[in-house]
Amino acid sequence: MIERLNDETRPHHAEADSDLDVLFRRETSATDYMLYLMRLYGFEAPLESALMTTPTLDLMLNLRERSRSSLIAKDLMALGLRPVAVAELPMCLTIPSFRGAAEALGWMYVCERATLAHSVIRHHLLTRFPIEMQNAANYLQAYAGTAGGLWRKFGTTLDHVGRHPAIADRVIASAHDAFRAQRRWLQNEQISTSARAAG
């Protein structure tokens, strides 16, 4: 299923990865990183809430060890954002309530795939602004030392759920929906305006 997801969602990958470009520019600052985390928090926090209420999903995966929105909030506060400002950040309202594991896993794939690049991003940002990153890399190092194992476990779960072709198709369709929703959210200029005001 991982191979099929990688293949069939490939048209989305370039755009999804381009959302990280701001972190790799020569002039990237701690403020750019903070704005990126603000946008990310608005997507991952409501997604995690939806995953937590998905029937039977918690029996397949340890959702708590994969929950990272609280770490994003911690990083934002380390970068200077007040707790009340974090609580008032805009949230993505287009994330659905999932009827079952198939739909939830398709959405999870988008965020779990992103974690594969976190160690590279963290290393790069440490070279750009090491002092700020000392206490603001909790999200990026959430899977430090365990990323490979968690990715394999995720793949095993996908294989189990996607044994039946119709269910596998639902996983794929949900992943497409998730990529599109994440792209619309991260590119929303109103989020940037709200985020800058909160900062």
Taking only the tens place, the pLDDT of each residue in 2-21 is 999 999 999 999 999 988 88
Spatial CA neighbour of 33 closest among 114, 158, 109, 128: 128
Q: Is residue 59 classed as helix, strand or coil in its secondary structure?
A: helix
CB 195 within 8 A of CB 35: yes
Homologous superfamily of 2-198: Heme oxygenase-like (1.20.910.10)
CB 103 within 8 A of CB 55: no
Is the pLDDT at 188 greater than 60? The verdict is yes
What's this model's pTM, rounded to 2 decimal places? 0.93
In degrees, rounded to 5, the angle at the alpha carbon of residue 67 between the alpha carbons of residues 122 and 167 is 110
Spatial CA neighbour of 170 closest among 101, 97, 110, 108: 101
Instruction: Point out the least confidently predicted range of 25-29, 33-37, 181-185, 193-197.
Output: 193-197
Tokens read off for 195: 């985020």
CB 15 within 8 A of CB 183: yes
Q: List, for residues 109-149, the tens digit of each pLDDT value.
A: 999 999 999 999 999 999 999 999 999 999 999 999 999 99
- Domain coordinates of the chain in residue numbers? 2-198
Q: How far is CA 32 from CA 36, 39, 128, 147, in A?
A: 6, 11, 11, 25
